[in-house]
Structure 1
């Protein structure tokens, strides 16, 4: 059950980590136990402690999935008083501490093998003169070769033979077995699916109910059946404004906070199949958004995003600047450099391992073709993919946004030039609505594809839904199956000999198979 405690704890941790900025900063006060008042000599002593931003204590939990994944945590050293002179410390794993730790914690954890951890920044670090806190160092945990089970890595800066819990961190590593299910993920080159799912309404596990089959005759060699969704963007996460401090705040909201806190249930099964699960960030209507941030707000907000991605082992971030409420009294005007700076900052913080994607939408992204307008930043150098954000089912003519061929009379009426330095193979021109009030097929797609304008096979879905009793659950289903056939040059529509025809099976087991759950099966199961 969701509790205020979980939310408060996360909020406090997020704020502390963001303020720390993942660098040296002002010290935190080290807590002391109550009881007898210490004498003057004790008060004059200096005490130090090995700490991590991931925990208030000296025990840090790390979750890995069996396979080739990894996770990263930090550590630093802090004293009760500034150092009188520079001190060099060296972190090391101490296998001799495992037995005592297991006894105290009543566990049976195994020492993590040496090949399953590494220190990207080295193991030696300095506590500078007149400083109370060192710079952060990182330890990277590698799942390769590990069997499912419980492991521990005691990391210490205490001298050998003199164990000291104040100078030791215990990383508790749990390796879980992937939940692959009965149907594998479609990873072919013909189609690449991007999904959005709104956690205010649905469990992310709804994604696993979306399937695609290929072929007409199930007994044929070329017939296959797969679940789909290569990238899954979870929403709603917002960039909000904290009036008292002026900070740009990453607001998860109750539903996303709960989902992330239960990542093993809601997110890991999607990742196990090979999907990339990201958070999608948009505006909060406060008047502060991606396009009017100061440099200090960008640095602070970037740190908050990185904390969430690292803590919950997500695969990246999608940026969709909508609903920001620009133009409110007292808020800065929009400019064309803030958003590119934020993108560059996030890429540098998240590294190459994480996805950074962009949803093109209205004025915030219109200048991304112009490097000079973006302050010298070529946005395409810092993102992995971009795609259209226009998916209003009442405006079918705007579902196709082709920045490379604006002269076509059936391309969206919205203006967007090619994003500077982003290869066209990584821009999704179609954002398909999951609901449509029109029975007309978007026939212009056939002309666009047959004309050779299609740059790739990226297919973007707006918010997924279950087979609720809306009037259009079959209308868009049939249209999307047709679209899948159109984008694949080997499909049945182009080659009658191959019988290579797609069928998009919406929510298999929901509406048509009541015994497997019926309508609303994957509505959120929390309050």
Structure 2
């Protein structure tokens, strides 16, 4: 099966975009002066400069949010040089409380110094650079909410010499602690961002999504547009279609984990529905060579009947179809065709009725002809769908913007998809965000930055408020720990039409993820691994 490969943007182009964007934000308040004159001295150009940095920010201020109580948030820090130094370098991070007053005066805030008992450095405070290296290994700082009252806190850390102030050698970790409020756990209505999530029950309990707490806040000041849980459509996976070589049937394989979850729906599924979430099952290929694109009419009817029985038995809200991992081309299996999948969609809608949700994930060749009713046997696939969205979300690639209505824009993905026949643009999710681990290089950080979405949104090309994410995760001690939650919030910011890059820092909004619940264990202690499967 042919795969479309991503068109990589150059790092230089992305750096330019970020620079322009930063300038755009600054223009609201600060005039820009351009000075002509001689070039910098050759000695200055060839000098080696270093900066204390964090993967959580492009500047030197790292913002965090926690609700009062137990819970914590973890961020990182590292040292970056413009080029390798002649000799190796060892730097020691220290807390400099003398910087609090200056930070408050500069930013017009009233932060108090974060108490010593509310932070720790699990990996130590020493940064090492080898003679050949430009970047040290990242190390963690963990900020704890326990014992803190509502307010603004600051942890200023620096590698500058005692008695000297150097912003390039300093990071400011700011923590907002908020009091719990009535309605904190109400589901956000999706009016500005409509959240579509996947949860892999091979790893997690579906209840994981309850702890995804997000705040939409004006960049300047304390105005909060909303705070609450998110996740309007929840797709549970992994469920597959497999081929029974003895009977020739296409079999719905729930797997042991999904079987357990469905068998305990009153614990794992119904509470989500009671909160207003739509809970669906996501179906995909099972690697046997049989998938949605090579089913016979008899297999379609049989398979749809199996799916309908599960949906009705466990009172689920619908089905998501994602044709991937089928293993097409295996010896003895039928060839793929362009009518099988459309027939399956039509039959699934007719069996489930209009009360259940039917969605489709666009991915590679199985959906590539859905614009062409001749290829689909006269079936307008979109007429049978409630929603469709992109399935391109590899975390080894940049964020992919799959916009079938503006394919020639430079910021639209090289993966292609024409508009699905019969589906209105208001029902198509153009971006499916990966969950990224911590970046290990500047090039990797720039590759992941979805700043190009600002052009798409500000040009009025975003057709709806649908935002889709790859499999959700909890807080674990792994290479995602210091990065995934802040990149999650950042993706939300770029997709919102009221973001700071479009409306400016005076009127625009940003998003912050609250790790309070995800790091508060049922025992009453803080820790890792909450909502991993318990069976």
2:437 corresponds to 1:428: no
Residues in 2 aligned to 1:247 and 1:506: alpha-carbon distance in whole angstroms? 47
Name the structure 2 match of 1:136.
none
How far does residue 469 in structure 1 lie from its aligned partner after superposition?
A: 1.8
Instruction: Answer yes or no: is the 8 Å Cα contact 1:509–1:516 preserved in 2.
Output: no
How far does residue 413 in structure 1 lie from its aligned partner after superposition?
A: 1.7
Name the structure 2 match of 1:228.
230
Instruction: Answer yes or no: is the 8 Å Cα contact 2:242–2:290 preserved in 1.
Output: yes
Residues in 2 aligned to 1:390 and 1:414: alpha-carbon distance in whole angstroms? 8
Instruction: Answer yes or no: is the 8 Å Cα contact 2:279–2:316 preserved in 1.
Output: yes
The equivalences for 1:127-276 within 5 A come to 183-216=185-218, 222-276=224-278
2:451 corresponds to 1:443: yes
Residues in 1 aligned to 2:453 and 2:525: alpha-carbon distance in whole angstroms? 35
Name the structure 1 match of 2:465.
457
2:528 corresponds to 1:519: yes
Instruction: Answer yes or no: is the 8 Å Cα contact 1:435–1:473 preserved in 2.
Output: no
Provide the secondary structure at the position in 1 that maps to 2:250: strand
Residues in 1 aligned to 2:305 and 2:294: alpha-carbon distance in whole angstroms? 18
Residues in 1 aligned to 2:432 and 2:219: alpha-carbon distance in whole angstroms? 30
Instruction: Answer yes or no: is the 8 Å Cα contact 1:509–1:518 preserved in 2.
Output: no
Residues in 1 aligned to 2:452 and 2:352: alpha-carbon distance in whole angstroms? 39
Name the structure 2 match of 1:330.
332
1:375 maps to which of 374, 377, 389: 377
Residues in 1 aligned to 2:326 and 2:503: alpha-carbon distance in whole angstroms? 47
Residues in 2 aligned to 1:330 and 1:271: alpha-carbon distance in whole angstroms? 42
Instruction: Answer yes or no: is the 8 Å Cα contact 2:217–2:223 preserved in 1.
Output: no
| RCO comparison, higher one (Cα < 8 Å, 6+) | 2
How far does residue 412 in structure 1 lie from its aligned partner after superposition?
A: 1.6
Provide the secondary structure at the position in 2 that maps to 1:396: coil
How far does residue 507 in structure 1 lie from its aligned partner after superposition?
A: 4.3
**Structure 1 pair 506/402, CA: closer, same or farther in 2 (3 Å)?**
farther
> Which digits, 9 at most, give the CA deviation of each residue in 1:454-485, with x for residues without a partner?
11111101000011122233434323323322
2:462 corresponds to 1:491: no
Residues in 1 aligned to 2:273 and 2:362: alpha-carbon distance in whole angstroms? 25
In structure 1, the gaps of 5 or more residues are 1-179
**Structure 1 pair 409/493, CA: closer, same or farther in 2 (3 Å)?**
closer
Residues in 1 aligned to 2:491 and 2:339: alpha-carbon distance in whole angstroms? 37
Q: How many residues align?
A: 346
In structure 2, the gaps of 5 or more residues are 1-181
Name the structure 2 match of 1:16.
none
Instruction: Answer yes or no: is the 8 Å Cα contact 2:215–2:514 preserved in 1.
Output: no
Instruction: Answer yes or no: is the 8 Å Cα contact 2:436–2:487 preserved in 1.
Output: no
2:360 corresponds to 1:358: yes
2:480 maps to which of 444, 447, 472: 472
2:316 corresponds to 1:314: yes
Calculate the TM-score normalised by the size of structure 2: 0.62
The equivalences for 1:19-34 within 5 A come to none
How far does residue 287 in structure 1 lie from its aligned partner after superposition?
A: 0.4
2:510 corresponds to 1:502: yes
Provide the secondary structure at the position in 1 that maps to 2:456: helix
Higher mean C-alpha displacement, 252-261 vs 501-510: 501-510
Instruction: Answer yes or no: is the 8 Å Cα contact 2:281–2:318 preserved in 1.
Output: yes
Residues in 2 aligned to 1:365 and 1:240: alpha-carbon distance in whole angstroms? 20
How far does residue 517 in structure 1 lie from its aligned partner after superposition?
A: 4.9
Provide the secondary structure at the position in 2 that maps to 1:215: strand
> Which digits, 9 at most, give the CA deviation of each residue in 1:360-388, with x for residues without a partner?
00010000010110000000000000000
How far does residue 510 in structure 1 lie from its aligned partner after superposition?
A: 2.8
Residues in 2 aligned to 1:222 and 1:212: alpha-carbon distance in whole angstroms? 11
Name the structure 1 match of 2:281.
279
Residues in 2 aligned to 1:404 and 1:182: alpha-carbon distance in whole angstroms? 38
Residues in 1 aligned to 2:452 and 2:502: alpha-carbon distance in whole angstroms? 17
**Structure 1 pair 506/429, CA: closer, same or farther in 2 (3 Å)?**
farther
Residues in 1 aligned to 2:229 and 2:183: alpha-carbon distance in whole angstroms? 10
Displacement over 3 Å in runs of 4+ = 216-223, 491-500, 511-517
2:398 maps to which of 396, 399, 407: 396
